């Protein structure tokens, strides 16, 4: 039986087990010029559902894209959504190094302030690439004025993982609050199955089991990219991208909208609002 029919049946028969999550969107552009951006058409249906359920989301945007999307970002902010920074360029934090990372953080903040009129409280590193190899990153973020980071994958990952990091909110020695990616599984088999390509590619049964233990009330979040929702985008390969990587980037996109919107609960908060609830909490452990 197909994943589609099994997913529909499970949703019909056990809706009481559904859990809402905090919705986050990583705004980055994967297209290759001169292909036109597809940001608007990809997220418009998601915005419609958020509005219907009076829920808000957190949008982490790559700084160099801000001038291009300034009008749309201002509209998102006016609708009550949170705007966070996703780096100035979509590069691994370790590849940047401390000096360039600090410079890009400054440029990102200046660009958001100039074009959107916001001072973001939250930061998400591209690829969730704050790891044990970038111990300088949290202090740079604290010095820049961020309230929280959402940049750690507390499990093994081929791109950027941090095995051994806490799986629940914690504070870095600098005082910065970290809201790590929710993971499911044990050891090297733990994966962030509730977001991104993992959410698209995983069998629905695995997603359903993982979601049963998660809740927006506990700060658990999902993440999605605009392209994850863009089932009508024509297939292409980026320069230097393997065939398998390209196929995975496009695989099962028809499932993503239903899966993400299934996590949207009425009145769900932004990630920043949840972070503010923890601002004066004394029970959050320190790590790093």
The pTM of the full predicted model, rounded to 2 decimals, is 0.92
Q: What is the pLDDT of residue 29?
A: 87
Best mean pLDDT range from 6-10, 17-21, 66-70: 66-70
Q: Is domain 3-277 classified as CATH 3.30.465.10?
A: no
- Considering just the CA atoms, what is the radius of gyration of the chain in Å? 18
pLDDT one-digit tens code per residue, 128-150: 999 999 999 999 999 999 999 99
**Residue pLDDT, tens place only, 53-83:** 999 999 999 999 999 999 999 999 999 999 9
* pLDDT at 103 > cutoff 80: yes
Q: How far apart are alpha carbons 45 and 53 in whole angstroms?
A: 13
Among the listed residues 111, 110, 62, 120, the one whose alpha carbon sits nearest the alpha carbon of residue 90: 62
Q: How confident is the model at residue 170 (pLDDT cuts 50, 70, 90)?
A: very high
> DSSP letter at 262?
T
Cα 148 to Cα 44, 151, 175, 273, distances in angstroms: 27, 9, 9, 11
What percent of the chain is predicted at pLDDT more than 70? 94
For the residues 220-227, what does the mean pLDDT come to?
Answer: 97
Name 242's Cβ contacts closer than 8 Å, sequence gap at least 6. Answer: none
């Amino acid at each position: 039986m197909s994943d589609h029919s099994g997913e529909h049946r499970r949703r019909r028969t056990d809706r009481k087990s559904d859990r809402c999550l905090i919705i986050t969107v990583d705004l980055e552009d994967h297209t290759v010029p001169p292909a036109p951006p597809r940001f608007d058409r990809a997220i418009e249906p998601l915005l419609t559902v958020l509005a219907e359920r009076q829920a808000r989301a957190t949008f982490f945007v790559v700084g160099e894209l801000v001038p291009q999307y300034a009008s749309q970002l201002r509209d998102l902010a006016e609708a009550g959504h949170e705007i966070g920074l996703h780096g100035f360029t979509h590069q691994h934090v370790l590849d940047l190094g401390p000096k360039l990372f600090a410079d890009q953080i400054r440029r990102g903040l200046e660009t958001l302030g100039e074009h959107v009129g916001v001072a973001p409280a939250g930061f998400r590193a591209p690829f969730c690439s704050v790891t044990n190899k970038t111990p300088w990153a949290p202090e740079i973020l604290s010095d820049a004025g961020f309230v929280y980071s959402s940049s750690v994958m507390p499990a093994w990952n081929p791109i950027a993982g941090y095995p051994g990091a806490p799986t629940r909110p914690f504070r870095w020695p600098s005082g910065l609050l970290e809201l790590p990616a929710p993971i499911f599984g044990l050891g090297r088999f733990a994966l962030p199955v509730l977001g991104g390509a993992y959410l698209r590619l995983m069998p629905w049964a695995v997603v359903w089991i993982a979601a049963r233990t998660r809740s927006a009330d506990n700060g658990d979040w999902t993440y999605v990219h605009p392209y994850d929702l863009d089932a009508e985008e024509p297939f292409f390969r980026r320069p230097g991208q393997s065939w398998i990587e390209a196929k995975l980037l496009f695989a099962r996109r028809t499932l993503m909208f239903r899966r993400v919107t299934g996590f949207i609960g009425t009145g769900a908060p932004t990630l920043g609002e949840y972070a503010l609830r923890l601002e004066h909490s004394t029970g959050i452990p320190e790590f790093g």
